[in-house]
Amino acid sequence: MTGTIDRKEHWQGVYERKHEDEVSWYQARPETSLRLIANTGLGREAAIIDAGAGASRLVDYLLDSGYADITVLDIADTALGKARERLGERAGQVDWIIADLLAWRPRRPYDIWHDRAVFHFLTQAEERRRYVEVLKSALKPGGHVIIATFAPDGPEKCSGLPVMRHSPESIAAELGAGFKLLETADEHHVTPAGKVQHFNYARLKRVE
Ligand SMILES: C[S@@+](CC[C@H](N)C(=O)[O-])C[C@H]1O[C@@H](n2cnc3c(N)ncnc32)[C@H](O)[C@@H]1O
């Protein structure tokens, strides 16, 4: 998968064909993400972006917890449409962005960047370099990054696409010296079909 159009077509199609709770990455409650966001110690006014959020329920729980500055970004408007519909009136409290992360130019800085199961699709070094560039242009100094990928013993594919599996340390190495690894977490995610997928989470702080 090389360009924005291929990527967009793939993901648009996935969310057209499947309900939000039929995709393998569906979580009724994203416990690990919520815990790591709380562990940043930042207040409810923190600006949070869920990058490649799909139709994730993370935004619902962040709103429930009183977070007031949430941005949800995805390449597929079919995914964001599902989340907006689910949230009803509360969708108006969220900033929705349809964009290819790798071509996106952030218009404002964020305190927390969250990505579950997006970075692992970047199998080319050039794509990962671009991701880190965009991440840096979106994150405040001292801001936190939470990235979750399939672990080295996790599946080799996600949504039919090849992935690059990571340890928290390899995620930190990809981000480079400007980030300090503060916390790691393991998740054994059970898909709607009952398969177990091993995820690694890394929480890092921007130090440069
Ligand atoms: C495996 S899903 C994970 C969704 C969500 N983070 C979760 O944990 O439920 C990957 C998501 O990343 C989005 N995505 C993939 N590549 C992207 C890109 N280059 N820019 C923006 N979103 C992207 C897809 O549309 C999809 O919603």
The CATH number given to whatever domain includes residue 67 is 3.40.50.150
Which atom belonging to ligand 1 lies closest to the Cα atom of 101?
Answer: 20
Number of domains observed in the structure of the chain: 1
pLDDT band (50, 70, 90) for residue 3: confident
Pinpoint the alpha helices (H) of the chain: 4-17, 31-39, 58-64, 77-87, 125-138, 168-175
Contacts of 45 (CB under 8 A, 6+ apart): 68, 69
pLDDT band (50, 70, 90) for residue 5: confident
pLDDT at 123 > cutoff 90? yes
How far away, in angstroms, is 168 Cα from ligand 1 center?
Answer: 19
Residue of the nearest CA to atom 1 in ligand 1? 117
Pocket of ligand 1 (CB under 6 A): 7, 11, 25, 52-54, 56, 74-76, 79, 100-102, 116-118, 121, 158-159
Q: Which of 12, 61, 77, 118 to mutate to test the pocket of ligand 1 (most atoms within 8 A of CB)?
A: 118
Q: Tell me, what's the pLDDT at 48?
A: 99
Length of the chain: 208
Note the pTM of the prediction, 2 decimals: 0.97
pLDDT at 99 > cutoff 70? yes
Range of the domain at 82: 4-206
| Average pLDDT of the chain to the nearest whole number | 97
How far away, in angstroms, is 113 Cα from ligand 1 center?
Answer: 14
Residue pLDDT, tens place only, 10-44? 999 999 999 999 999 999 999 999 999 999 999 99
Q: Please answer whether residues 40 and 144 qualify as being in contact, where contact means their C-beta atoms are separated by less than 8 angstroms.
A: yes
For residue 53, the surrounding DSSP H or E stretch is none
pLDDT band (50, 70, 90) for residue 105: very high
Q: Tell me, what's the pLDDT at 159?
A: 95
Classify residue 190 by its DSSP letter: E
Which atom belonging to ligand 1 lies closest to the Cα atom of 100?
Answer: 20
> What CA–CA distance (Å, rounded) separates 205 from 208?
9
Q: Please answer whether residues 124 and 152 qualify as being in contact, where contact means their C-beta atoms are separated by less than 8 angstroms.
A: no
pLDDT at 1 > cutoff 90? no
